[in-house]
Amino acid sequence: MIRIHFHPNQVFDESKHVIDVVAKEYLEKATDNIDHLIPVEVSGDGNCLYGSILLLMNNPMVTTNELRVRTIIELMTNEVYYSNRYSQFVGSLDIAIQGILYLGVT
């Protein structure tokens, strides 16, 4: 599998991004220093984590489905590591993977 290089956008582009007003309110309540943070809207279709990553990547060759599949491959390839390290936080890795699969169904 070819590695994806992640070089996040460093500039807010008003022609591409829309500020998420609700998220901005939460940020303002959470901390005083949000000058460097700009919450942007992403689709709330169950792929919001992957959509956020794609928005930062600005790479039209990568899709949310690809990121979801890569996540599952990573979890399954290194199942013992993730089970030992994170099962006390997320529970069974099998159930977590099923959740990733289920959320990706549109």
What is the C-alpha separation between 1 and 106, in angstroms, rounded? 25
Q: Using one digit for the tens of pLDDT, what is the confidence trace for 21-36?
A: 999 899 888 888 877 8
Give residues with Cβ within 8 angstroms of 76, minimum separation 6. 97
Q: Using one digit for the tens of pLDDT, what is the confidence trace for 62-106?
A: 999 999 999 999 999 999 999 899 888 888 888 888 888 776 554
Residues 75, 54: contact at Cβ < 8 Å? no
Residues 72, 98: contact at Cβ < 8 Å? no
Output the pTM of the full model: 0.74
Chain centroid to Cα 44, Å, comes to 12
Greatest extent of the chain over all pairs of C-alpha atoms, in Å = 44
Chain centroid to Cα 1, Å, comes to 20
Nearest to 45 by CA among 25, 68, 61: 68
